[in-house]
Chains A and B, each alone.
With several copies, the nearest count.
Chain A
Amino acid sequence: MSLTDTSIKTSETALGRDDLAKLVARDIAPGSFVNLGIGQPTLVSNYLTEEQNITLHTENGMLGMGPEAKGDEIDEDLINAGKIPVTELPGASYFHHADSFAMMRGGHLDICVLGAFQVSVTGDLANWHTGAPGAIPAVGGAMDLATGAKDVFVMMTLLTREGASKIVDACTYPVTGVGCVTRVYTDRGVFLTGPEGVTVRETFGCTLEELQELIPVPLKAASA
C-alpha cells in the first residue's frame, strides 16, 4: 500500500451523475438481480444493456421491472418503491410484500445500490435519518436493503454542500446498517469499504493524494 501506487485508474475530471450511473451499470455482472434505491441510484437503469440481462427488483413486490411508464403506459397498479409508475418486462413476476422482503433479506439479490449521507471506513451506512431534533423519522425499506443484498453499493457525491467528506471514520448520523457497504461510487472516486478499511479503486479529476486531503480516513490504493 502506498499513495504513490499507480495501479488505480484515474480520469481527468470529476464525474457527473450520469457518468457515475454509467460506471455503476458497467460494474454489474451479467445476469444479476439488482435493487436500485430511490433517487440517484435509479439513474443506473438507464445504462444497463440488454446483453447484461439484469433483472430489477422493486421491494413493493416485483421482479422484472421495466423503465418508467410514459403516457398511455401509466397504470396506477404498477409502481416502483418510489411510487413512480413503471413498466413490466417479459419474464416479470409479482409477489406480496413479505415474499418480496424475504427475497431481499434472504440474501437473494446480488446487488443493491443506495444513496447515502455517510459511509464509515468499515462500511457502516447512514442514509435514513438526519437525527435532527423534531425531524419525523421515516425508514421505508432502507434497513432491509442495507442488510439483505449480497453487495451494497453506495452512490453519492463525495462531499457535502459544506465540503465535508461523506466517507467518515464513524457515522455521525444514525446508522441504517452496520458494516454493510462494500463499494462507494462518488463523483471523485470509487472506494471499497470493509473490515480492511477504505481502498481506492479509481479517482476522477484528482490524484489519490488530493483525495486523501479531502477524506479524514486513511486511504489505500487498490493493487493492480
Chain B
Amino acid sequence: MLNFVESVQEAVAGIKDGSTVMIGGFGNAGQPFELIDALLECGATELTVVNNNAGQGDQGLALLIKEGRVKKMICSFPRQSDSWHFDAKYKAGQIELELVPQGNLAERIRAAGAGIGGFFTPTGYGTMLAEGKETRFLDGKWQVFETPIHADVALIKALKADGKGNLVYRKTARNFGPIMAAAAKHTIVQVSDIVPTGVLDPENIVTPGIFVNSIVKVAGSGLGTSTTAGKAA
C-alpha cells in the first residue's frame, strides 16, 4: 500500500535493527540525504547497507557508519579521499565489506526486483572478486555466477511523484533509484514535488507506483543546484 507521509522521520520509523537497507545515489546525485539523516536519528542499528560508496565526509551514510549502525557495507567503491569514517571502522575490523563490481551491483539489484535467482556474467572472471565463485563457459566466454541482492528497505530520491506513486527522476540522479525501488520489500522515496495523478505522461514514467510504498516531500530536494545543508563536494 502506498502512503504519503508528512516527514522523513515518519517515513523511516518502521526500519528495524538488522535490516538490509539500499540507499540510492551516485556521488551526491540522487542521494536521499534527508532520509539518511532521519535513519541516523531513528536509531536503527546492525544494518547492512547497499550503496555504491561507503559514505563521504561527515554526513549521511558516513555518519551512520561513524555511529556504528552499519554492520556490513555492500558497495563497489568504499575508498574515497574523504571516506575516513569507513576507513577507520574497516581498519579496526568493525565493519564488514562485500566489494562488488559496480555493474554486478546494479545487475544483482535488478535481479532481486525481477525475480531472477542468479545469473552468469563475464565481469570479474579471473579476478580476486570471483574467487570461490562458480564459473561456466557460456557464449564463448568464461562467466561467473552472481546472486540477487534483496533488501528490506530502499531509501531513494526522485524528482516528482504523482498520486499513484509513479516517479520521474532528474538527469544522472536517476542512477540506482529505479532498480532499488524494485528490489526492496519497502521503498521510501523523497521527492521535491508531488503532482496530481494524470500530470505525468504515462510514456515517461520511470518507476511505476507498484514499486513505491512511502513518499515524503522534501523541500528543495532534487532541484539540481543544492540549497539544502549536508552536501559535500
Contact = CB atoms under 8 A, between A and B. Distances in A.
Contacts of A141: 76, 101-103
A63 interface: yes
A138 B77 contact: yes
A84 B135 CA distance: 36
B206 to A, nearest CB: 7
Contacts of A185: none
Interface in A177-192: 177-178
B172 A139 contact: no
A191 B128 CA distance: 27
Interface stretch (A19-27, A143-151, A214-222): A143-151
B34 interface: no
Nearest to B127: A175
Contacts of A76: 28-29, 173, 224-226, 231
Interface residues of B, number: 75
Contact of A96 (B125, B162, B177): B177
Nearest to A174: B128
A202 interface: no
Nearest to A143: B101
Given A55-B210, A76-B29, A92-B202, A147 B123 contact: yes
B172 A62 contact: yes
B78 A138 contact: yes
Interface of A: 30-31, 33, 55, 57-64, 74-80, 83, 88, 90-98, 100-109, 124, 129, 134-144, 147-148, 174-178
